[in-house]
Structure formats: C-alpha cells, structure tokens
Amino acid sequence: QAERLDNAKHKFYPTDEDLHPDMRFVENKYVQELSANEEFRSFIEDKKVTWVAQDSLITDLLTAILESDIYREYMAKPGEKTLEEDAALWRALYKDVILPSDALAEALESRSIYWNDDLQEMGTFVLKTIRRIGMLSQGENSKSHPIMPMYKDDEDSRFGADLFNNAVKHCNEYKELIEKFVNTSRWDADRLAFMDIVIMITAITEIINYPSIPLAVSFNEYIEIANYYSTPRSGAFINGILYSVTKHLKEEGTLLKA
C-alpha cells in the first residue's frame, strides 16, 4: 500500500489526496512492532520465509482489505490510532478477510499439502500473537518481547510424541478393548472405519496415561476430531464406545479420574 500511495504522488496530474495521503494504515503501530520483533525477524531469516514472489497473492489480499468494511471504518475514524486499536484492526482483517481468502488457500496449498489441517490452528496462534503485541504497555516494545510460543512448557512440547508412542505401544490392547464394546447387532467390528479406530485408540491412550486431563476434555476433543476427520456418524459412535470403555475401566479399578 505504501508503494501504491507513493506511485500516486507521481501521477501526471496528482490530486491533493494523492499528494497528502492518509498514512495511518501504512504506518500502523502493530505492523511496526511486529517488524521490530527480534524473535520474529530471526524466524523469518532462519526459515527463509518470503512472499516476494507472490505478487498476485499480495495484490489480491490488499485489494480485499481495502474493499472491506473493517478497513473503511478504521480509516473513517479521525485522529491517531493507539497500538491497541491498530492491533485490533489486524485481528479483524486477519480473521474476516485474510484467513478465509481463496487466494491465500491456493498459495498455501502450493507450499504444503497439510495446509488445510494446519490453517485453523495457525490462525489461532496468529490472532493470539496480535492481541499479545497489542496489549504492550506504553513505553514497552516488542523488539525482544516473545511472540506466541508453540508450546506453553516442556511437558506440552513432549505431549504429542509421547501420546503417539503410547498409542502405538498399546495399539492391540486398546483395540481389543474397543471391540469388546462394539454392538455386533449394529456394527461389524472388522468393518469399522479405520479412522474411527485410530481416534478411539488415541483417545483411550490419553484417558489411561494422562491422569491430569479430565475425562470430559478428552471426550470432547476426540468427538470433535471424529466429526471433522471421519464419517457423519462417527462422533456419536465414538462417544458411546468411549463411555463404555471408561465405565469398564472404572469398575475394574484401572481408571481413577473423574
């Protein structure tokens, strides 16, 4: 946008607006803070992340932003913006304009086949990071202020790999447990959807091996995963099996948590 405004100044017959443009969007305080963030800059340099060759993507996104009500309302309010207001602008633009963009989806798909699975999670991290920077107190800057970390602590960083290893280690054991509670009058245990089996084995692994995670949390998470990745009936089916499995484990004293 800075380039567009500068080009407008050099038109053959520039208007007064061309010569004296409103620079609040270009000089957005949140963008300045993010650009100065040492951790962010280090990541960009280390991973060689760049959108320089994505001219059409940047143009499409900028056009969508400039045509949005969010941008218009931001520019219509007079006066200098605060860091919090500038960050709020980018939270709204990212959530309602950039993240749902077909142009962004196409660009990400060309870089990774996993983009669709990752986008919502990464979007959540971006929105939290924007809010975090927007809440910097006056006089504080983000040059060394950490951006949103991938994990909250060491235990959290180990969780995924530990869960996977435990699921593989106890795969046959937990599969037998699942088959014990399949209603054979309605379901053929040998013909259960493979994804349903994977989800249930992983859920049981978490339920048994991670006592700090409440049952309700595990149930909700894996039912949601089933609804997203498996069949329309999987959520209800998996909920029923997990309920029976946990009831059985409690009765035999293997499971103690509520």
Closest CA relative to residue 192, chosen from 206, 175, 170: 175
Q: What is the spatial distance between Cα 102 and Cα 115, in angstroms, rounded to a whole number?
A: 13
pLDDT at 47: 87
pLDDT for the residue numbered 23: 94
Give the DSSP per-residue string, 48-109. Answer: T---TT-HHHHHHHHHHHHTSHHHHHHHHS-SPPPHHHHHHHHHHHIIIIITT-HHHHHHHH
User: Which of the listed CATH numbers 3.40.50.10440, 1.10.940.10, 3.40.720.10, 1.10.150.240 matches domain 154-251?
Assistant: 1.10.940.10
Tokens of 197: 């089996």
Distance CA 16, CA 18 (A): 5
Residue type, 47: K
Residue-level pLDDT at 187 = 57
Q: What is the dihedral of CA 6, 7, 8, 12, to 10 degrees?
A: 130
Q: pTM for the whole thing?
A: 0.73
CA distance 176 to 53: 53
Residue spans of the domains in the chain: they are: 2-134, 154-251
**Which pair of tokens denotes residue 91?**
């939270």
pLDDT by 10s per residue, the chain, length 258:
999 999 999 999 999 999 999 999 999 999 999 988 888 889 889 988 888 778 899 999 999 999 999 999 999 999 999 999 999 999 999 999 999 999 998 888 888 887 777 888 889 899 999 998 888 866 666 565 667 788 888 989 999 999 999 999 999 999 999 988 886 555 555 567 889 999 999 999 999 999 999 999 999 999 999 988 888 888 888 999 999 999 999 998 888 877
Tokens representing residue 144 in the block: 């060394």
Distance CA 236, CA 216 (A): 15
CA distances, 203 to each of 83, 86, 180, 222 (Å): 42, 41, 16, 6
Q: Amino acid letter at 138? A: Q
